[in-house]
Structure 1
Amino acid sequence: MERESMDCDVVIVGAGPAGLASAIKLAQLAQEQQQELMICVVEKGSEVGAHILSGAVFEPRALDELLPDWKNLGAPLNTPVTGDEILLLKDQEKSTQLPGFMVPKTFHNDGNYIASMGNVCRWLAEQAQALGVEIFPGFPAADVIIEEGRVAGIITGDMGLDRDGQQKPSFEPGMELRARYTIFAEGCRGHLGKRLQAQFNLADDVSPQHYAIGFKEIWDIPAEQHQPGLVVHTTGWPLGDNGTGGGYLYHAEDGQVYVGLIVDLNYTNPHLNPFAEFQRFKTHAAIAKTLNNGKRVTYGARAITKGGLHSLPKMSFPGGLLVGCNAGTLNFAKIKGNHTAMKSGMLAAETIFAALQSESPAADLTDYQERFQSSWLYDELYRSRNFGPAIHKFGTWLGGAYNTLDQNWFGGKLPFTIRDQRPDHEGMQKAADAPTIDYTKPDNKLTFDRLSSVYLSNTNHEEEQPCHLKLADETVPLTVNLPEFAEPAQRYCPAGVYEIVEENGESVFKINAQNCIHCKTCDIKDPSQNITWVTPEGGGGPTYPNM
């Protein structure tokens, strides 16, 4: 196939916090040395920020380093945190606010901001473009160019293929973007990052990566119920014995609140429905009092990489680097990954710029590891290294007690190493052995169904295109997952993509790929590891306005 080709110095895959911080730092270094660098960023969303979903309480530490004058430059960080609450939800009515001494210091948010990371990324893109960076939204990186054992760039996705992969009259082949170095900042469970880890054995001898699924809705609420800057985190109900995780309620600007639930994907009950658990969460008296008489504006969901330091793969390989949530730099002890993603991208930029100045550039950017280990990013991840594993191993209460002791009295340096060696997709109970869970029908006031929720995410895909949710074996959903696990894809997907339907008297596993909001949960949680998420046509997926 004839493809157009373009040469760059550096290609960056993904215009999220990590990718844009990489681009800005590279451009700054080039400007300081009065050099010209061709820096290209490709983004699968229809625009920068379209696929960004984060809580988000934003810690500005990395931004202070990258763009110290960010306030005068108009960064959309307008709601400083004014208060923190941690609530223990005992049942649907009762809650207790935890006293300060019982709360890990990592949950304190002095100096942080409640923000839309989609809007922050749109602003970061403007700063990058002002420095000469080229950004191409609507162009997914579909494949990697590997020549002589080295990454030499990426290939963007073909456009205009029908469901069978045949060319339509509108067909346009993807373009080769060739680069001296490539940064992969795809976000959680990036499909190219996943392949690169396998190809270059980047995850050998480390703990398996761990994940959660995070839900978020934005609500307009009555003025008397709004407390700008208030951050509320919860633990306990509705998950209880069925899984670990927690909820949040952030009072943002303009009379809006961000409400969400994080469900760890190591849960074992196949009957658990994370979306339905999120809907139940909103009915708790402590949450409902804020949402009552409000209007839901937007919905979204996204997997979260939360394994921390123990689960980090080697981030360098011949010709490139993994950064941000594609590698797993989120600090789960803080439930924050934007500042760490940005710092990892800035370190990548410094590493690559140094390599570009060398007369004999390093084949493998191994000095990235040295920069990482001497940075505050490593120190922060080291101090929180046991946070997630402690909860996985000991449960919410004992694990939480250990983490409070470790963080508040020992600064994250207790001389213990706790690891969770079981991948999240393993350990699923057989459906017949697990208790069923009754979920009530949505009331369309506080609780809603999945399809009306997906509508609010502005999700759209060209229907006449190859399905981007690939089954390694098309028989597995009905012959293995259905009889053994009641096919949990019907429940763990937050967008209703997977269904078992009757056609001509037979059960059929149906994939509604046009509903996909690119959360990657299916790629992670399928107990048979039979589903692989790949990029659809450029511009497909959600279009989040302010997430």
Structure 2
Amino acid sequence: MEFDVVIVGAGSAGLSAACRLMQQANEAEQELSVCVVEKGSEVGAHILSGAVFEPRALQELFPDWEERGAPLTTPATRDELYLLKDAEKAQKLPSALVPKSMHNTGGDSTRYVISAGNLTRWLGEQAESLGVEIFPGFAAQEVIIEDEVVRGILIGDMGVAADGTPKDGYMPGMELRAKYTLFAEGSRGHLGKRLINDFALDAGCDPQHYGIGLKELWDVPADKHEPGLVLHGSGWPLDSNTHGGWFLYHAENHQVVLGLIMDLSYQNPWLSPFDEFQRMKHHPVISQHLDSGKRVAYGARSITKGGFNCLPKMTFAGGLLIGCDAGTLNFSKIKGLHTAMKSGLVAAESVFEALKAGDEGGQELTSFTEKWEASWAYAELKESASFGPAIHKYGTIGGGAYNFVDQLLGGKLPNVHDTTTDHGKLKPADQFDKIDYPKPDGKLSFDKSSSVFLSNANHEEDQPCHLRLADPELPIRDNLPKYAEPAQRYCPAGVYEVIEDDEGNPKFQINFQNCVHCKTCDIKDPAQNITWVAPEGGGGPNYPNM
């Protein structure tokens, strides 16, 4: 199938690009074919984000978004920031000492507590009404590259058995060819990762840095609900060498959104981000919002948080990287939806400008770089270039102080860099004490299996495993003795286990059916032995409104 533009991923960046492309085509009365492929079973099924949303890019895309019924109904009304000192104590930070980028109330822009999944569902409806073709349940498996030019994508085969043979109902993958292909897969997109490597797009950049974001949605009693209340915090239960922070937002419909973002640059292989998240909920500052509530959803996703210093070149012959596939999130704000959307808008304007001028495709759109670097989103990222690296270098307190002063001085302090990869930070297990996490109480804290159940994760069992090991022997031979095989702890869904075989020897088991597509294994494995590829389309989590 041939299109003018193919977009991989129906997230905020991809759908914004699709909408803007069709807006321009309709205004110019020019025919344009735009296709969006989405590996989730529906638009929004794989979307997970905090989220407090800054509607700047949405306002540019749809100035009448309120009349169109965009799901922005809960303005942020009150902002608090805490440092948790231990399991019981906390210090509330005065507003005057909070970096300005982390303020979510006041100023000239209203921000909203939203479901990113519901926002993308709404964007999908707008895109289809404009004439965009959206194919959910189809996973882009390969990039079509001819003579060093991207010509489209190959959709994965459907109905393939675990041994690689066709099953009943087998459907071969198809080529979707395009003049230009936009990759908007989200954090650690598997095609984006290959493109960055194949075209050396990260030459001269700091290595990209990531976090893992774990999120739950709770129904709470009306008397405990304050719509628009926004809480952020850091400190306990993470130690001084483990950076991250938590968020708690009061959303609509008597629901509370709770999450932990933990940097994947941590050193201790005994750490389990999932279990840190579960015990964190017992702190009084947090538990008071959850008491008498019911957990109704769970999910996890990696976060591309390196920022400006890690931003790769986003152009190559025949296509563009946009959104979190490139790393446009502004971690100083703990926000990425608005910048991802803006990258999509700039991409759409650059592509349409070329096509309108008669371009037959396959060129490198240098005009995108000029437009992107002139945008407010690029300026935001540049202003906050040191935010994450300063925390990595000076710690949560020292890095926070650096960033506060840097923002106070208008970005005049020297740019801080972090040139060590996240997986390269992991140290041998014998340098740390094993962590005995408390058992979940079933009220505030829970186990992985019940959590994965709430993610609605599902994969057809009789299909090839989408978690590929370059060396199948390495986990037991190398990672187990040196790092106590950290995959069984850094995975938030119980995908990886070390079990005993019939002879009593350790065996590495992959329960790929549990996978929530967070990509943490692809990022944190110390030997970079695990590669995440797209499973059969429609597999993975099915988040209702995350």
TM-score higher than 0.5 = yes
Of 76, 79, 85, the residue aligned with 1:81 is 76
Deviations 1:443-501 (A, max 9, x none): 00000000100000001000000000000000110011000000000000000000000
Distance 1:244 1:524 in 2: 16
- Tell me if 1:192 matches 2:196: no
- Residue 309 of structure 2 is matched in structure 1 by 310
Matches within 5 A, 1:199-214: 199-214=198-213
Superposition deviation, residue 101 in structure 1: 1.6
- Residue 256 of structure 2 is matched in structure 1 by 257
Residues 362 and 169 of structure 1: is their aligned pair in 2 closer, same or farther, counting only changes over 3 Å? closer
- Residue 101 of structure 1 is matched in structure 2 by 96
Distance 2:391 2:413 in 1: 17
Q: How many residues align?
A: 540
Of 461, 464, 469, the residue aligned with 1:463 is 461
- Residue 153 of structure 2 is matched in structure 1 by 154
Contact 1:242-1:272 at 8 Å conserved across structures: no
Superposition deviation, residue 169 in structure 1: 2.3
Deviations 1:394-421 (A, max 9, x none): 10010000111112x123x214111000
- Residue 129 of structure 2 is matched in structure 1 by 130
Greater displacement, 352-361 / 527-536 = 352-361
Structure 2 counterpart of 1:382, one-letter code: K
Secondary structure in structure 1 of the residue aligned to 2:423: coil
- Residue 393 of structure 2 is matched in structure 1 by 393
Distance 1:146 1:254 in 2: 47
- Residue 85 of structure 2 is matched in structure 1 by 90
Contact 1:155-1:176 at 8 Å conserved across structures: yes
Distance 1:344 1:423 in 2: 25
- Residue 420 of structure 1 is matched in structure 2 by 418
Distance 1:241 1:479 in 2: 31
Contact 1:181-1:320 at 8 Å conserved across structures: yes
Distance 1:165 1:362 in 2: 33
Structure 1 counterpart of 2:404, one-letter code: T
- Tell me if 1:238 matches 2:233: no
Contact 2:195-2:201 at 8 Å conserved across structures: yes
Secondary structure in structure 2 of the residue aligned to 1:390: helix
Secondary structure in structure 2 of the residue aligned to 1:494: coil
Give the ranges of 4+ consecutive aligned residues of structure 1 lying more than 4 Å apart after TM superposition: none
- Residue 297 of structure 2 is matched in structure 1 by 298
Contact 1:219-1:296 at 8 Å conserved across structures: yes
Distance 1:203 1:210 in 2: 13
- Residue 35 of structure 1 is matched in structure 2 by 30
Contact 1:189-1:305 at 8 Å conserved across structures: yes
- Residue 370 of structure 1 is matched in structure 2 by 370
Superposition deviation, residue 241 in structure 1: 2.5
- Tell me if 1:67 matches 2:62: yes
Structure 1 counterpart of 2:26, one-letter code: Q
Distance 2:510 2:15 in 1: 33
Superposition deviation, residue 240 in structure 1: 2.1
Structure 2 counterpart of 1:416, one-letter code: P
- Residue 512 of structure 1 is matched in structure 2 by 511
Contact 2:149-2:362 at 8 Å conserved across structures: no
- Residue 229 of structure 1 is matched in structure 2 by 228
Structure 1 counterpart of 2:39, one-letter code: K
Distance 1:13 1:102 in 2: 41
Distance 2:269 2:256 in 1: 31
Contact 1:213-1:263 at 8 Å conserved across structures: yes
Distance 1:435 1:366 in 2: 52
- Residue 334 of structure 2 is matched in structure 1 by 335
Secondary structure in structure 2 of the residue aligned to 1:354: helix
Distance 2:241 2:216 in 1: 23
Aligned residues: CA RMSD: 0.8
Structure 1 residues not aligned, in runs of 5+: 1-5
Distance 1:442 1:480 in 2: 31
Structure 1 counterpart of 2:484, one-letter code: A
- Residue 496 of structure 1 is matched in structure 2 by 494
Secondary structure in structure 2 of the residue aligned to 1:218: strand
Secondary structure in structure 2 of the residue aligned to 1:80: coil
Secondary structure in structure 1 of the residue aligned to 2:101: helix
Distance 1:109 1:241 in 2: 26
Of 11, 16, 23, the residue aligned with 1:21 is 16
- TM-score w.r.t. length of structure 1: 0.98
Secondary structure in structure 1 of the residue aligned to 2:179: strand
Residues 242 and 398 of structure 1: is their aligned pair in 2 closer, same or farther, counting only changes over 3 Å? closer
- Residue 470 of structure 2 is matched in structure 1 by 472
Greater displacement, 530-539 / 350-359 = 350-359
Structure 1 counterpart of 2:462, one-letter code: E
Superposition deviation, residue 12 in structure 1: 0.2
- Residue 55 of structure 1 is matched in structure 2 by 50
Superposition deviation, residue 242 in structure 1: 4.5
Deviations 1:24-80 (A, max 9, x none): 010011111110100000000000000000000000000000000000000011000
Deviations 1:411-433 (A, max 9, x none): 3x214111000000002111011
Deviations 1:307-336 (A, max 9, x none): 001001100000000000000000000000
Distance 2:426 2:154 in 1: 37
- Residue 349 of structure 2 is matched in structure 1 by 350
Structure 1 counterpart of 2:387, one-letter code: F
Distance 1:536 1:64 in 2: 35
* Identity within the alignment, %: 62
Contact 1:355-1:362 at 8 Å conserved across structures: no
Distance 2:381 2:438 in 1: 40
Distance 2:94 2:113 in 1: 22
Superposition deviation, residue 362 in structure 1: 6.7
Secondary structure in structure 2 of the residue aligned to 1:456: helix
Structure 2 counterpart of 1:248, one-letter code: F
Contact 2:180-2:362 at 8 Å conserved across structures: no
